[in-house]
Amino acid sequence: MTLIALLWCIAAWLGLSVFAVVVARTAIVGTIVYAACLAIGMLGLSAGLEHLIAATAPAETIILPLGLPWLGANFRLDNLSAFFVLVVDLGAATASLYALGYGRHESEQHRVLPFYPAFLAAMNLVVLADDAFTFLVSWELMSLVSWALVVAHHHDRENIRAGYVYLLMASFGTVALLLAFGLLAGPEGSYAFAELRLHPPSETLAAAVLALTIVGTGSKAGLIPLHVWLPLAHPAAPSHVSALMSGVMTKVAVYAFIRIVFTFLGPPQWWWALPVLIAGAASAVIGVLYALNQSDLKKLLAYSTIDNIGVIFIGLGLALAFQTNALGAAAALAMAAALLHVFNHALFKSLLFFGAGAVLTSTGERNLERLGGLIHTMPVTAFLFLLASMAICALPPLNGFVSEWLTFQAVLISPQLPQWSLRLIVPAVGAMLALAAALTAACFVKAFGFAFLGRPRSDVAKRAVETDTFSLAGMFSLGALCLFIGILPGFVIDRLAPVTQFLLSARLPVQADVPWLSIIPISEGRSSYNGLLVFLFILISSLGAVLVIHTFASRKVRRSAAWDCGFPDPRPVTQYSADSFVQPLRRVYGTLVFLAREKVQMPTPGEMSPARFTVTMQDLAWRLIYSPIVHAVEFSAERLNVLQFMTIRRYLALVFSALIFLLIVLASWT
Amino acid sequence: MDLIQPLIVQGAQMFLALALAPALIGFVRKVKAQLLRRRGPPILQPYRDLIRLLRKDVVLADNASWLFRAAPYMVFAGTWVAAALVPTFASGLMFSWSADLVAIIALLGSARFFLALAGLDVGTSFGGIGSSREVMIASLAEPALIVIVFTMALLAGSTQLSTIASFMASNDVGIRISLGMALIALLIVALAENARIPVDNPATHLELTMVHEAMVLEYSGRHLALMEFAAWLQLLLYLSLIGCMFAPWGLTTASTNPGGYLVGLAAYILKLIAGGMVLGLFEVVIAKMRVFRVPEFVGVALMLALLATLLRYVSSSQ
């Protein structure tokens, strides 16, 4: 029944899209569409939640008479898809709530509204699809609709370029997945997932499928070096769509990876974990280093998504490694950590994009060098953005810490692995994870500190006003969830048990039985964490300090000019800039990762020209991989260009010689 | 009875940390002064400073936000909770299971997060430079610390600090190279995180070399008192951490008789004195580094810690 309800939700979203095409230019329609999306999203959310809470609910399947005539459109709701339906529809509902307010500031409403409900429907379709054909069609629909949303503001040339790169990379990813499913199905196999589950491929074939899956889903999720489109496309879309793309669509790619690798490929080989772990660790560290060097708030958030996807893939790689060696509980721990991070990242990254959107509508700026001081004019947005920043930096007692902590605990079980290469790689991956966490803290000190703190760096920042109630409600609901999961993680971890049971036939100990609402991933003597107590300790000691100091010591406050070592300068330019903030970090890491070079040109004394400071940084992924490909394509296109302007005789000669050549090949073949 | 005693021990540790932190910093200053043939301020001077600061009014910059006023309390609370979870004279604390070593590091991370934000709030160049350098140093020191925790956790089979401490106190540890590396790494991290020479100079003002002092430059009165107190607590925390992991002698477990606590307390104070003397001596004989030498220095800690962990992985059998 739940599946039918979900399919009706999808149908309603698609209908809403058509409705929006017809009437997109009227003013009220935005409110109607977003309100309807919110209602449908809540419905889908409760359906997914219901399936997940009824832990023993059997998988439901439906075949609709659509698509390939001999196959139909298969849909299935099992524990894995129920969890991802939950993630997708939670994002959908909150984004729609936010858009009720944000959408009113949208200048290109008629380019956003028709595609928005279809985007939500497509993401739901992908996680419910139960045959390769439906899956790929939904996947492509998701790509195309989100592309349309990326280029909604097509007057900006940057956005057109972003859309172009996105379209190319999305098609490339789909091709990889198409080949992966082709290999899985074999020459006469069926494309229904039920068949694929029953007939795992041979060892070599499985390796090829794994490689194609990493490429296909990794390009959607933003694994390095397939990430190049992501920081262009995510910020280009309207902010609620950015939140969905970063927070939710990348998770749909994670879903595809889990679905293919953990349920179709049969028992894993030990070395499968290696590429996943390495790609995850590289994405985590390099992603956050990129994020640090951005001054564009939305670009910074997009790069930080790459970092978090890396963390998720580290968890998945560990789960693969443990599963190979029949360490069921450890695999369940790593998988639970990855899934929890999927959920957490969807929460706080959406919240951060909402905050960035609120700043954007209020000031028209997303450049950190022109923001500042917004904490005075937008206090609620600032508070919620701070909460999400703390969550993404993995600071207790918020939710990001719980998933990072679980991942660390999974890393610490790895000496039990018998393979030497894994035992050498995993501690290095753990160190990379710790490095990424520390750099994330630096990154979000920058993001929050330069957008919201300090003095306004431009007139628009000075004139900012607090955003509307609907936007705040959307942000608040996500912030409350971040805090709730951080304080009571055991509740959510227990809900993940059906998913790990389904994937790995193992689960974590029941956390609801642990006294004091602690979480204990393995055993009591090994490690435990209690978010509630940590939260209470912090609350009591800070409030206690306030109380004691205000009762027994001074409570007076005097306002005066800033001290600044006695030389305060009222001009906002004299503040530290976002770029100078990262300069030390750029020197430490950037010279290696980005080949960053700093050049100072000092005029000779007496000369009147200004001093000049230039920083050059190179994107190695572009330089080493993409530029050569672009050059090769351009080179061959230029060479083949002569074929376009030939006389009819030459064309005929060409066709004739091609025919002869093929006949010779055919003759020598048999 | 079996609930009240641990509660008292836990409470005693919390307030012991508060009570001893200023004395420790006073002692380190005294040692440094004596080594330089100066008389130096009395050991109790930090207490007087605290009381004087608490009595004074707060002078806030005109554009300071609520975050600026909340940050001292958040920094203090985060550091204090972390310090309360590190065994000082008795292990097996009542609430030790509520946060393991990774969580303690993350709590210190929260404190640092607010400290760095507070440095940016007023919008001065000094605050910015302090925050910027702080996150640069932390970006190396924090992973090093986590990897040190890996080493210890792999040895003791747990990330709970109490379990690690009782494992290190047991006889089956022996001398291991990985432990030596972890200790050196931890010492480097402790110097960096507590803004000591050679990474930062706690005694400078008005110089471009400072890190911690630059961030709290705009603070005054009770806010400054809390910020300073948090920094002192953090130094005490690191010495306790080194003490309970690498010198767990005299650490009593919760079950022993009250006399055991006195021995534990005496041992703890002796450890603090020894630690303070070593720190003072080290600071006197070494020069402050240029800021851009610091990453190399702290990077050594990260590499040593990683090597120690790899050694554990290599030497651990099935």
Can you tell me the distance from the alpha carbon of B192 to that of B136, in angstroms, rounded to the nearest whole number?
A: 11
Which of A427, A442, A568 has the CB atom closest to B310's CB atom?
Answer: A427
CB A409 to CB B159 under 8 A?
A: yes
Give me the percent of chain A exceeding a pLDDT of 70: 100
Vertex A156: Cα angle to A150 and A157 (nearest 5) = 95
Q: Residue B225: which residues within 8 A CB-CB, separation 6 or more? A: B49, B50, B53, B54
Q: How confident is the model at residue B205 (pLDDT cuts 50, 70, 90)?
A: low
pLDDT at A288: 95
Four-residue CA torsion sign, A226, A230, A231, A232:
positive
Can you tell me the distance from the alpha carbon of A231 to that of A219, in angstroms, rounded to the nearest whole number?
A: 12
The overall longest dimension of chain B from CA atoms, in Å, is 62
Q: State the smallest CA–CA distance between residue A239 and chain B in angstroms.
A: 25
Residue A581: closest CA among B305, B71, B139, B102: B139
CB B313 to CB A530 under 8 A?
A: no
CB B306 to CB A427 under 8 A?
A: yes
**Torsional class of A606: left (φ above 0), alpha (ψ -120 to 50), beta (otherwise):** left
CB A435 within 8 A of CB A59: no
What tokens were used for B272? 């603090």
In total, how many domains does chain B have? Answer: 1
Tell me what percent of chain A is helix, strand and coil, each rounded to the nearest 5. 75, 5, 20
* CA A3 from centroid of its chain's CA atoms: 26
* CA A80 from centroid of its chain's CA atoms: 18
Q: How confident is the model at residue B2 (pLDDT cuts 50, 70, 90)?
A: low
What pTM did the predictor assign?
A: 0.95
Chain B contact set for A388 (CB, 8 A): none
**A186 touching B (Cβ < 8 Å):** no
**Torsional class of A456: left (φ above 0), alpha (ψ -120 to 50), beta (otherwise):** beta
Q: How confident is the model at residue B255 (pLDDT cuts 50, 70, 90)?
A: low
Can you tell me the distance from the alpha carbon of A168 to that of A172, in angstroms, rounded to the nearest whole number?
A: 6
End-to-end C-alpha distance for chain B, whole angstroms: 43
Average pLDDT value for chain A: 91
**pLDDT-wise least confident of A132-146, A399-413, B82-96, B144-158:** B82-96
Chain A contact set for B73 (CB, 8 A): 542, 545-546
DSSP H or E run through A282: helix A273-292
Can you tell me the distance from the alpha carbon of A153 to that of A112, in angstroms, rounded to the nearest whole number?
A: 9
Higher pLDDT, A14 or B93: A14
Chain B contact set for A542 (CB, 8 A): 73-74, 76-77
What tokens were used for A259? 């679905």
Q: Does residue B1 register a pLDDT over 50? A: no
Can you tell me the distance from the alpha carbon of A282 to that of A279, in angstroms, rounded to the nearest whole number?
A: 5
Pairing state between β A60-64 and A612-616: unpaired
Which of A405, A438, A453 has the CB atom closest to B67's CB atom?
Answer: A453
From residue B7, alpha-carbon distances to A73, A145, A621, B21, B147 in Å are 62, 59, 56, 21, 32
What tokens were used for A556? 């007076």
What tokens were used for B2? 């079996």
Give me the percent of chain A exceeding a pLDDT of 90: 68
Q: Does residue B207 register a pLDDT over 70? A: no
Residue B82: closest CA among A431, A411, A541, A523: A541
Residue A317: closest CA among A214, A240, A448: A214
Q: Is the peptide bond before A418 cis (omega within 30 degrees of 0)?
A: no
Mutate to test the interface with B, among A527, A556, A575, A579 (most CBs of B within 10 A): A527
Chain A contact set for B107 (CB, 8 A): 396, 534
pLDDT in tens, B95-122: 777 888 999 999 999 999 999 999 999 9
pLDDT in tens, A584-618: 999 999 888 888 888 988 888 888 888 898 888 88
Q: State the smallest CA–CA distance between residue B30 and chain A in angstroms.
A: 27
* CA A211 from centroid of its chain's CA atoms: 21
pLDDT at B288: 86
CB A407 within 8 A of CB A345: no
Q: Does residue A357 register a pLDDT over 70? A: yes
Which of B123, B146, B314 has the CB atom closest to A372's CB atom?
Answer: B123
pLDDT at B318: 39
**Interfacial B residues in 90-109 facing A (CB < 8 Å):** 95, 97-100, 102-103, 106-107, 109
Can you tell me the distance from the alpha carbon of A293 to that of A446, in angstroms, rounded to the nearest whole number?
A: 10
Pairing state between β A557-560 and B58-61: parallel
Can you tell me the distance from the alpha carbon of A637 to that of A655, in angstroms, rounded to the nearest whole number?
A: 20
Mutate to test the interface with A, among B110, B137, B303, B314 (most CBs of A within 10 A): B110
- Give the residue carrying structure tokens 């021995």: B263
From residue B144, alpha-carbon distances to A521, B58, B92, B187 in Å are 24, 37, 26, 11
Chain A contact set for B164 (CB, 8 A): none
What tokens were used for B48? 């007087």
> Domain range for residue B109?
4-315
CB A341 within 8 A of CB A424: no
Residue A372: closest CA among A383, A382, A357: A382
Query: How many residues does the structure list for chain B?
Result: 318
Q: State the smallest CA–CA distance between residue A601 and chain B in angstroms.
A: 21
**A430 touching B (Cβ < 8 Å):** yes
CB B149 within 8 A of CB B105: yes
Q: Calculate helix-pair angle for A273-292, A203-221, nearest 10 degrees.
A: 10
- Give the residue carrying structure tokens 């001398």: B175
Q: How confident is the model at residue B176 (pLDDT cuts 50, 70, 90)?
A: confident
pLDDT in tens, A391-439: 999 998 899 999 999 999 999 988 888 888 888 899 999 999 999 999 9
Q: Does residue B256 register a pLDDT over 80? A: no
Per-residue HEC secondary structure of A607-646 comes to CCCCCEEEEECCCHHHHHHHHHHHHHHHHHHHHHHHHHCC
Q: Does residue B239 register a pLDDT over 80? A: yes
Four-residue CA torsion sign, B182, B309, A339, A57:
negative
Q: Does residue A486 register a pLDDT over 90? A: yes
CB B295 to CB A588 under 8 A?
A: yes
**B297 touching A (Cβ < 8 Å):** no
Can you tell me the distance from the alpha carbon of A659 to that of A663, in angstroms, rounded to the nearest whole number?
A: 6
CB A302 within 8 A of CB A237: no
pLDDT in tens, B12-21: 888 999 999 9
Q: How confident is the model at residue B54 (pLDDT cuts 50, 70, 90)?
A: very high
Q: Does residue A131 register a pLDDT over 70? A: yes
Can you tell me the distance from the alpha carbon of A531 to that of A537, in angstroms, rounded to the nearest whole number?
A: 10
Can you tell me the distance from the alpha carbon of B112 to that of B105, in angstroms, rounded to the nearest whole number?
A: 10
Can you tell me the distance from the alpha carbon of A299 to that of A353, in angstroms, rounded to the nearest whole number?
A: 10
Chain B contact set for A326 (CB, 8 A): none
- Give the residue carrying structure tokens 């000019």: A561
CB B113 to CB A441 under 8 A?
A: yes
CB A442 to CB B124 under 8 A?
A: no
Q: Is the peptide bond before A584 cis (omega within 30 degrees of 0)?
A: no
| Alpha-helical runs (H) found in chain B | 4-35, 45-55, 66-84, 101-121, 125-156, 161-169, 177-193, 212-215, 221-246, 258-285, 294-315
- Give the residue carrying structure tokens 């054909």: A133
Chain B contact set for A412 (CB, 8 A): 150, 153-154, 159
Provide the b/e sequence for B146-169 (b: ≥16 CB within 10 Å): bbbbbbbbbbbbbbbbbbbbbbbb
pLDDT at A190: 81
Q: How confident is the model at residue A179 (pLDDT cuts 50, 70, 90)?
A: very high
CB A216 within 8 A of CB A333: no
DSSP H or E run through A651: helix A648-669
What tokens were used for A616? 């050059």
ipTM rounded to 2 decimals: 0.95
pLDDT in tens, A40-85: 999 999 999 988 888 677 888 999 988 888 888 999 999 999 999 9
CB B132 to CB A581 under 8 A?
A: yes
Per-residue HEC secondary structure of A405-458 comes to HHHHHHHHCHHHCCCHHHHHHHHHHHHHHHHHHHHHHHHHHHHHHHHHCCCCCC
Q: Does residue A386 register a pLDDT over 70? A: yes
Q: Calculate helix-pair angle for B66-84, A379-392, nearest 10 degrees.
A: 30
Mutate to test the interface with A, among B57, B135, B166, B302 (most CBs of A within 10 A): B135
SS3 A222: coil
CB A411 within 8 A of CB B152: no
